[in-house]
Structure 1
Amino acid sequence: MALQKNIGKALRALRLQKGVSQEKIALETGIGRRYMSDIENGRRNVSLEIIEKLADFFEMSASDLVKEIENAAFPPVTQKSLKRWLVEHDYNDSVVFQNPDYVSAVVGVSEEGRVIYSYEKMVRTLMMTDGMDYEEAVEFVDFNTIGALPTMGENAPIIMYEVEG
């Protein structure tokens, strides 16, 4: 049952990131809209054929889609648990973004204790939690978050951009 829920979470996040409806996915993949809804809500099993169709729709490999599903399985980190971890590892001066939703975009910590965030995950988080479309979320992150980095000092977070290869 947990796997079904993780598949649903991952697909919903990808759908929102792409800014498409369940109906559009259903039409373009040949998956029924009701079935697509049931998948997103964790009520249906998914065959490898469906995984392949969805991966094609999201323009990724099936293995990348499975990675997205695996990432949905990890329990969410909270701001409190992140700060506690930083203190336990002697990174007391680390700066954490105040937006509590950004904690899901944390991908690591540098040797000097600077928290590393994924730009794409920050954007995706705003889309899911605040209902922004992709362009609005990008504008928010660029202006409000990246724009604030110079005022945060030498322990400011690092924002990582994915490199397309």
Structure 2
Amino acid sequence: MSPKNSKTREPREEDHLKALGMRVRKWREQKGLTQEQFAPVVGFTRSYITEIETGKRNISFLNLIKLLETLEVDDREVKQLLHDIYAEKEK
């Protein structure tokens, strides 16, 4: 096997977590909420939200559902996020 060229590397888990985190931050900010305001509403600590938004936390599926429901994220936006992640993988 030959080493992979850095330009064609496979997306790593960290890349996916960062993509999710950026989207979560966008959705939260669209609601006009700071992390401090959002934390008690969703039932997470502010530091947990920070770790999600910076891609440093691998959020559980159930916590992701809770977050998406609390932010009232549209199904189409969730599908777009998944599409973007898979499209990046295919590059």
Structure with the larger strand share: 1
Query: After superposition, where does 1:1-165 map in structure 2 within 5 Å?
Result: 1-60=14-73, 63-64=75-76, 66-70=78-82, 73=85
Q: Following TM superposition, where does structure 1 have runs of at least 4 consecutive aligned residues deviating by more than 2 angstroms?
A: 63-75
- Cα distance, 1:64–1:51 mapped onto 2, change above 3 Å: farther
Q: What residue ranges of structure 2 are gaps of 5+ in the alignment?
A: 1-13
Distance in structure 2 (CA, Å) of the matches to 1:64 and 1:51: 16
Count of residues in Structure 1 that have an aligned counterpart in Structure 2: 74
Q: Distance in 1 between matches of 2:34 and 2:83?
A: 22
Q: Which has the larger radius of gyration?
A: 1
Question: What is the percentage of aligned positions where both structures have the same residue?
Answer: 32
Q: CA deviation at 1:40?
A: 0.2
How much has 1:71 moved relative to structure 2? Answer: 5.6
CA RMSD of aligned residues (A): 2.2
**Are 2:35 and 2:49, in contact at CA under 8 Å, matched by a contact in 1?**
yes
Report the TM-score when normalising by structure 2.
Answer: 0.67
Gaps of 5+ in 1: 76-165
